[in-house]
C-alpha cells in the first residue's frame, strides 16, 4: 500500500501510537469470530475490525514496514493505549470498550481531518467509518443498559471496570497536534450523555493519577497483552516470509 | 488545471471499464474509484485509485485487474497508486451505478446534499414514506420498491453495506450505506 512517509520522528511516534491502537483493537475484535452472540454481531464486529486494520496498515506504513512493525516488535515496543488491549470479556465489556474508544477516535479524527497535517488524508477517510463504529456502540449501550436487569448489571460492571483506562486517551502524544483538553471535554460530554440515556451511572473513579491505569504509550502494557501478541505474531514468526 | 491527453483519457476509460471484484455488476468508473491516469514516458502509466473503505480488501484485486487490462492494451509498465484524499464518498457512485445496484438487489446509497462525516442519530431504525431515521429519503426495498423497511444490522456482508428487511414483501436486502 502506497502512503506518504512520515516527515520526521515526531510524526513517526504519532503514527505508531494511532496505528497500534487500531491494530490491537482490530485483533481483539477479530477474536469474536465464531463466538459472537448472534450472526449479525459476528459480522458487525468483524467489519469494524476490518476498518481498523485498514487504518492500522496506512498508519504503520507511515512509520515503517507494516508487517515488520505488526509482527516482529516485542511487547515493550508497542505504543497502543492499555484500553484497546483489554480482553473482550463478555459482550457488554466489548461494547463499552468500543464506546469509550470510538468516541475518542471519532473526535480525534474529526479534528485531524480539519487540519492539513500528515494525518489529514487518513483521518478524513477514517472519520466516516468511525462514525458507524460509534453509532453501533452507542445503540448497543442503550439496548444493554436499558435492557434487562442482567444486561444492565453487566454493562454497568464494564463501564466501571474500563473507566480507569480512559484518561490515557487524552495524554499528549508527540507529533499529534490537537487540543487535548477540548477533546476530553467533548468526549466526556458524549459518553456521559449516552450512559445517562442508557440508565447507567457515570463512574466517579479517577481517570488519571496513581489509581488510574495507562502507560501504554510508554510501552508498558497489562498482563493479557503479551498473550494476545503471542497469538497474533505466532504464524509470522514461525514461518517468516510465508505468503498465501 | 492539469490537462489530460487523449491517450490518458483513453486509458482512463479502459481502467474504468474493469468490473468491481466484489460487485461485478459495477465497473470501477461507476463506483467512482479510479481518480486519474497519467502517462510517464514511453509505455509507462500511473493510475490513481482510491479505496471505498480504508480496509477494503478489494483494492488489491482492483489494482491487479487494472494492471492486466492496461498491459493487454500495450502499456508496458503500470503502477497503481492508492490515494486517500479527497476521501471517496458514496456520492461518487454514478446514476448508472445506482441503477445497476438496485437491479442487482442492493438498495443504492442515498445522495446527500453536503459531503462529510455521516451524521448518525440515535433513533428508530425503521423508514417509511417521507420519514427516515436520519433526515434522508427512506431506504426503498430493491425488490418491490416499498419505502417501509427496517434496519436489521448496521454491518452486513461487507463493511460498506447494512442489512435491512422490507416490511411489505418481507425480503431481507443489503443497503449500500451512505459514506
**What is the CATH classification number for the domain harbouring B35?**
3.30.300.130
pLDDT digits (tens, 9 = 90+) for B60-106: 999 999 999 999 999 999 999 999 989 999 999 999 999 999 999 99
Evaluate if residue A138 carries a pLDDT over 60. Answer: yes
- Total domains in the fold of chain B: 2
**A50/B53 touch (CB, cutoff 8 Å), yes or no:** yes
**Do B61 and B14 fall within a single domain?**
yes
Contact call for residues B118 and A131 (beta carbons, < 8 A): yes
Which residue segment(s) compose the domain that B51 sits in? 6-82
Give the integer Cα–Cα distance in Å for B132 and B127. 5
Q: Is residue B128 part of a domain?
A: yes
Nearest to A139 among B119, B122, B158 (CB): B122
pTM exceeds cut of 0.80:
yes
**Do B73 and B108 fall within a single domain?**
no
Nearest to A131 among B87, B120, B163 (CB): B120
**B54/A134 touch (CB, cutoff 8 Å), yes or no:** no
Q: Which residues of A touch B53 (CB under 8 A)?
A: 50-51, 54, 129
Give the residue ranges of DSSP H helices in chain A.
Answer: 9-30, 39-63, 66-71, 82-85, 91-114, 120-145, 149-163, 180-197, 223-238
Q: Is residue B88 part of a domain?
A: no
**Do B56 and B107 fall within a single domain?**
no
Give the integer Cα–Cα distance in Å for B141 and B107. 6
Give the integer Cα–Cα distance in Å for B78 and A159. 52
Evaluate if residue B136 carries a pLDDT over 80. Answer: no
Q: Residue B2's pLDDT band (boundaries 50, 70, 90)?
A: low
**A132/B82 touch (CB, cutoff 8 Å), yes or no:** no
**B57/A50 touch (CB, cutoff 8 Å), yes or no:** yes
Q: Which residues of B touch A120 (CB under 8 A)?
A: 85
**Do B146 and B78 fall within a single domain?**
no
Q: Is residue B87 part of a domain?
A: no
Q: How far apart are the CA of A134 and the nearest CA of chain B, in angstroms?
A: 9
3-state helix, strand, coil in chain B (%, to 5): 25, 25, 55
**Do B68 and B135 fall within a single domain?**
no
Give the integer Cα–Cα distance in Å for B165 and B150. 5
Task: Find the residue in B nearest to A126 (Cα).
Answer: B54
Q: Phi/psi class of residue A119: alpha, beta or left (left: φ > 0; alpha: ψ in -120 to 50)?
A: alpha
**Do B69 and B115 fall within a single domain?**
no
pLDDT digits (tens, 9 = 90+) for A8-57: 788 999 999 999 999 999 999 999 999 998 888 999 999 999 999 999 99
Give the integer Cα–Cα distance in Å for A220 and A27. 19
**Do B22 and B51 fall within a single domain?**
yes
Q: Is residue B89 part of a domain?
A: no
Give the integer Cα–Cα distance in Å for B61 and B54. 15
Instruction: Please give the pLDDT value at position B153.
Output: 87
**Do B12 and B72 fall within a single domain?**
yes
Q: Phi/psi class of residue A90: alpha, beta or left (left: φ > 0; alpha: ψ in -120 to 50)?
A: beta
Domain end, chosen from B82, B110, B141, is at B82
Task: Find the residue in A nearest to B124 (Cα).
Answer: A139
**Do B56 and B114 fall within a single domain?**
no
Domain end, chosen from B27, B52, B82, is at B82
Q: Is residue B130 part of a domain?
A: yes
Evaluate if residue A164 carries a pLDDT over 70. Answer: yes
The residue with greater pLDDT, A220 or B124, is: A220
Instruction: Please give the pLDDT value at position B121.
Output: 47
**How do strand B77-82 and strand B44-49 relate by DSSP bridges?**
parallel
- Domains in chain A, please, with CATH? 9-238 (1.20.1260.10)
Please give the share of chain B, as a percent, with pLDDT higher than 90: 63
**Do B66 and B21 fall within a single domain?**
yes
How many residue contacts between A and B have a Cβ separation below 8 Å? 94
Q: Which residues of A touch B163 (CB under 8 A)?
A: 40
Give the integer Cα–Cα distance in Å for A155 and A91. 9
**Do B133 and B157 fall within a single domain?**
yes
Evaluate if residue B44 carries a pLDDT over 80. Answer: yes
Q: Is residue B1 part of a domain?
A: no
**A125/B152 touch (CB, cutoff 8 Å), yes or no:** no
Contact call for residues B25 and B101 (beta carbons, < 8 A): yes
Interface test with B, best of A50, A95, A98, A136 (most B CBs within 10 A): A50
What mean pLDDT do residues A97-123 have?
96
Give the integer Cα–Cα distance in Å for B126 and B138. 9
DSSP code per residue over B39-52: E-STTEEEEEE--S
Q: Is residue B26 part of a domain?
A: yes
**Do B113 and B167 fall within a single domain?**
yes
C-alpha cell of residue A230: 503471542
Nearest to A53 among B55, B88, B152 (CB): B55
Please give the share of chain A, as a percent, with pLDDT higher than 90: 87
Q: Residue B41's pLDDT band (boundaries 50, 70, 90)?
A: confident
Q: Residue B3's pLDDT band (boundaries 50, 70, 90)?
A: confident
Burial B86-114 (b: 16+ CB within 10 A, else e): ebbbbebbeeebbebbbeeebbbbbebee
Radius of gyration of chain B measured on its C-alpha atoms: 18
Domain end, chosen from B55, B82, B109, is at B82
**A129/B179 touch (CB, cutoff 8 Å), yes or no:** yes
**A131/B117 touch (CB, cutoff 8 Å), yes or no:** yes
Instruction: Please give the pLDDT value at position A242.
Output: 82
Evaluate if residue A212 carries a pLDDT over 80. Answer: no
ipTM over 0.85: no
Q: Is residue B144 part of a domain?
A: yes
Q: How far apart are the CA of B25 and the nearest CA of chain A, in angstroms?
A: 23
Task: Find the residue in A nearest to B178 (Cα).
Answer: A128
Amino acid at each position: 500500500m502506497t502512503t506518504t512517509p512520515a516527515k520526521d520522528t515526531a510524526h513517526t511516534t504519532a503514527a505508531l501510537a494511532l496505528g497500534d491502537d487500531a491494530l490491537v483493537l482490530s485483533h481483539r475484535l477479530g477474536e469474536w469470530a465464531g463466538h459472537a452472540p448472534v450472526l449479525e454481531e459476528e459480522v458487525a464486529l468483524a467489519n469494524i475490525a476490518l476498518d481498523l486494520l485498514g487504518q492500522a496498515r496506512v498508519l504503520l506504513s507511515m512509520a515503517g514496514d507494516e508487517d515488520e512493525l505488526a509482527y516482529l516488535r516485542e511487547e515493550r515496543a508497542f505504543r497502543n493505549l492499555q484500553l484497546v488491549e483489554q480482553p473482550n470479556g463478555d459482550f457488554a465489556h466489548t461494547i463499552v470498550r468500543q464506546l469509550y474508544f470510538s468516541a475518542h477516535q471519532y473526535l480525534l479524527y474529526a479534528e485531524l481531518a480539519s487540519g492539513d497535517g500528515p494525518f489529514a488524508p487518513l483521518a478524513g477517510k477514517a472519520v466516516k467509518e468511525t462514525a458507524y463504529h460509534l453509532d453501533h456502540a452507542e445503540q448497543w449501550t442503550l439496548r444493554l443498559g436499558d435492557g434487562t436487569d442482567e444486561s444492565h448489571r453487566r454493562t454497568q460492571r464494564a463501564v466501571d471496570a474500563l473507566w480507569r483506562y480512559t484518561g490515557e486517551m487524552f495524554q499528549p502524544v508527540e507529533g499529534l497536534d490537537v487540543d487535548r483538553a477540548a477533546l476530553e471535554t467533548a468526549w466526556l460530554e458524549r459518553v456521559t450523555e449516552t450512559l445517562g440515556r442508557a440508565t447507567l451511572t457515570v463512574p466517579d473513579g479517577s481517570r488519571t493519577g496513581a489509581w488510574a491505569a495507562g502507560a501504554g504509550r510508554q510501552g508498558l502494557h497489562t498482563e493479557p497483552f503479551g498473550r494476545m501478541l503471542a497469538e497474533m505474531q505466532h504464524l509470522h514468526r514461525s514461518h517468516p516470509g510465508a505468503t498465501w | 488545471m492539469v490537462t489530460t491527453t487523449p491517450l490518458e483519457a483513453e486509458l482512463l476509460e479502459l481502467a474504468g471499464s474493469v468490473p468491481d471484484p466484489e460487485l461485478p455488476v459495477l465497473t470501477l468508473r461507476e463506483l467512482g474509484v479510479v481518480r486519474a491516469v497519467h502517462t510517464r514516458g514511453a509505455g509507462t502509466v500511473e493510475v490513481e485509485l482510491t479505496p471505498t473503505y480504508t480496509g477494503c480488501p478489494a483494492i488489491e484485486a482492483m489494482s491487479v485487474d487494472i494492471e492486466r487490462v492496461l498491459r493487454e492494451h500495450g502499456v508496458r509498465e503500470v503502477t497503481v497508486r492508492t490515494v486517500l484524499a479527497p476521501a471517496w464518498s458514496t456520492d461518487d457512485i454514478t446514476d448508472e451505478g445506482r441503477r445497476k445496484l438496485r437491479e442487482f438487489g442492493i438498495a443504492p446509497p442515498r445522495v446527500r446534499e453536503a459531503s462529510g462525516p455521516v451524521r448518525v442519530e440515535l433513533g428508530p431504525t425503521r423508514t417509511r414514506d417521507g420519514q427516515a431515521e436520519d433526515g434522508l429519503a427512506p431506504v426503498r426495498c430493491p425488490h418491490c420498491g416499498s419505502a417501509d423497511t427496517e434496519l436489521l444490522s448496521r454491518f452486513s456482508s461487507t463493511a460498506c453495506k447494512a442489512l435491512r428487511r422490507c416490511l411489505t414483501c418481507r425480503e431481507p436486502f443489503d443497503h449500500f450505506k451512505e459514506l
